[in-house]
Amino acid sequence: MAIRLQFERVTKSFPPQRRGGEGVTAIVDVDVRVADREVVALIGPSGCGKSTLLNLASGLDRPSRGRVYVDGSEVTGPNSHVAFMLQRDLLLPWRSILDNVTFGQEIQHVERERRREIALKLLAKYHLGDFVDHYPHQLSGGMRQRAALARTMAMNPDVLLLDEPFSALDAQTKMVLQQDLARTLWEEKKTAFLITHDLLEAIALADRVLVMSRRPGRIVREIAVDLPERNNPMVRRQRPEIGKLMAELMSLLDIGQGDRLDG
Ligand SMILES: Nc1ncnc2c1ncn2[C@@H]1O[C@H](COP(=O)(O)OP(=O)(O)O)[C@@H](O)[C@H]1O
Ligand SMILES: [Mg+2]
């Protein structure tokens, strides 16, 4: 199976912010391979280097040591093989929802009519068909994240990089969006790297869960989820195996022993 995303012994240190200050080593010797169509979740304590890892995959930042590959090519800068979805939706306030969704394709020089066609189809799919001419401030948080998902999918990336995409949403809205995302990843045969501090979200959506240590972040364990219905997190959440998987992740993160995981 083709490897879509690979971190090869990746270390990232940041220099001191001021003279005489100390630098920060965010992550150390991270090795990860994500195969075609796989959904891999990454969990770990706040500040352990999760977002740093994602920035390296997107080409927004470069590793101090080691290499990052997407689709077999080393990542040396932003590229159209990957697309992002973050906790903040990053919608442009002065553009309509439709024009926000077409924005990524404009950068990719997709022809105007084709852009519209793709965007309208995705907006309908994510239940935003009646809101294409609205502006971001007129939409709820959940609707905005659905628009952000539509924009991400409109770019037709090989790899989706998702950094706590639902963590600002209320529990119910979050579940609906998890369902939309999981279906999309499955139906469109996409590869995804999902950062989350929601253990149940990791189990419900992913094929594997990677656990990172406190900073400097290292991958300390990999848990295969091994449950059916990755396209249906609502069903997965109700399976009897969930409790055991949750307990395993909680103990790896030292939750319940005085430590907090607060993303
Ligand atoms: N651009 C930067 N300059 C200096 N330090 C940074 C920078 N980006 C992140 N860090 C530091 O690296 C560590 C990991 O950050 P981050 O990857 O955002 O953690 P997480 O996403 O797991 O909460 C933190 O200590 C953070 O302060
Ligand atoms: Mg982060």
pLDDT at 263: 44
pLDDT at 258: 52
Cα distances (angstroms) measured from residue 131 to each of 96, 118, 124 = 9, 15, 9
**Residue 228 C-alpha to ligand 1 middle, in angstroms?**
35
pLDDT at 1: 74
Atom of ligand 1 nearest to the CA of 55: 17
158-168 pLDDT, tens digit per residue, is 999 999 999 99
Q: Tell me which residue has its CA closest to atom 4 in ligand 1.
A: 14
Residue given tokens 């430590």 in the structure block: 259
The H or E element spanning position 158 is none
Asked if 29 and 21 count as a contact pair (C-beta separation under 8 A), the reply is no
246-258 pLDDT, tens digit per residue, is 999 999 998 765 5
Asked if 216 and 199 count as a contact pair (C-beta separation under 8 A), the reply is no
Atom of ligand 1 nearest to the CA of 212: 22
Residue intervals in the chain for CATH 3.40.50.300 = 1-81+159-263
**pLDDT classification of 29: cutoffs 50, 70, 90:** very high
- Where would I find the beta strands (DSSP E) of the chain? 3-14, 24-35, 39-43, 65-70, 73-74, 82-86, 159-163, 191-195, 208-212, 219-224
Amino acid residing at 197: H
Asked if 108 and 166 count as a contact pair (C-beta separation under 8 A), the reply is no
Residues lining ligand 1, Cβ inside 6 A = 14, 24, 26, 44, 46-52, 215
Furthest-apart CA atoms within the chain: distance in Å? 56
Q: Token digits for 238?
A: 């109700």
Residue 42 contacts by C-beta under 8 Å, 6 or more apart in sequence?
A: 50, 53, 193, 194, 195, 196, 209, 210, 212
How far apart CA 41 and CA 151 sit, in angstroms, is: 21
Q: Token digits for 71?
A: 């689709």
How far apart CA 8 and CA 68 sit, in angstroms, is: 6
Average pLDDT for 78-103: 92
Amino acid residing at 38: E
pLDDT over 90 percentage in the chain: 87
Q: Residue 262 above 70 pLDDT? A: no
**Residue 97 C-alpha to ligand 1 middle, in angstroms?**
31
Residue 144 phi/psi, 5-degree rounding, is: -65, -40
Q: Tell me which residue has its CA closest to atom 11 in ligand 1.
A: 26
Of 171 and 89, the structure prediction assigns the larger pLDDT to 171
pLDDT at 208: 98
Q: Residue 180 above 60 pLDDT? A: yes
141-178 pLDDT, tens digit per residue, is 999 999 999 999 999 999 999 999 999 999 999 999 99
Amino acid residing at 181: L
261: three-class secondary structure by DSSP: coil
Asked if 178 and 201 count as a contact pair (C-beta separation under 8 A), the reply is yes
**Residue 85 C-alpha to ligand 2 middle, in angstroms?**
12
Q: Does domain 1-81+159-263 have CATH number 3.40.50.300?
A: yes
**Residue 161 C-alpha to ligand 2 middle, in angstroms?**
12
Report residue 102 CA to chain centroid gap: 20
**Residue 251 C-alpha to ligand 2 middle, in angstroms?**
21
pLDDT at 21: 87
Q: Tell me which residue has its CA closest to atom 3 in ligand 1.
A: 14
Q: Counting ligands in written order, which one lies closest to the CA of residue 48?
A: 1
